Amino acid sequence: MKKYVLGEMEQKFANIIWRESPISSGDLVKICKVELTWKKSTTYTMLKRLCQRNIFENTNGTVKTLISKDQFLAEKGEEFINSNFSGSLPKFITAFTKNKKLSSDEINDIKLLIESYQED
């Protein structure tokens, strides 16, 4: 199982933790009961799974994030590009834009982004 691939319910659960962190595990159980209609055991099983992937930690009944949501999404994106496009961002952009035209604003945003990361 890949570290940064989450199923639909894992993603919903992770979003709750990112939104509420730090949170007591008891409060997390209560939120998951309301928002996901989960039992206590389901919440703890899912929490253990995501803690094993080093995304979150549960220490002394307090759940904290080990990586931010932005960091997680960046890692997930990098993993996707590495596995599907041999790590080539240009290949990814080519595939992405093959069926979708970019607006002038999108093109300018991408240019600015590239310039901000360009090596001297």
| pLDDT at site 1 | 41
H runs (alpha helix) in 21-103 = 25-35, 40-52, 69-85, 89-97
Q: For residues 71 and 80, what is the distance between their CA atoms, to the nearest angstrom?
A: 14
| Total domain count, the chain | 2
Query: Which among 86, 85, 81, 63 has a CA at the least distance from the CA of 13?
Result: 63
Q: Do the beta carbons of residue 49 and residue 38 sit within 8 Å?
A: no
Reduced to 3 states (helix: H, G, I; strand: E, B; else coil), residue 33 is helix
Tell me whether residue 82 is in a domain: no
> Quick one: pLDDT at residue 2?
62
pTM of the model: 0.78
Q: Which residues of the chain are under the pLDDT cut of 70?
A: 1-3, 120
101 and 62 within one domain: no
- Whether residue 25 is found in the same domain as residue 55: yes
- Domain range enclosing 94: 88-120
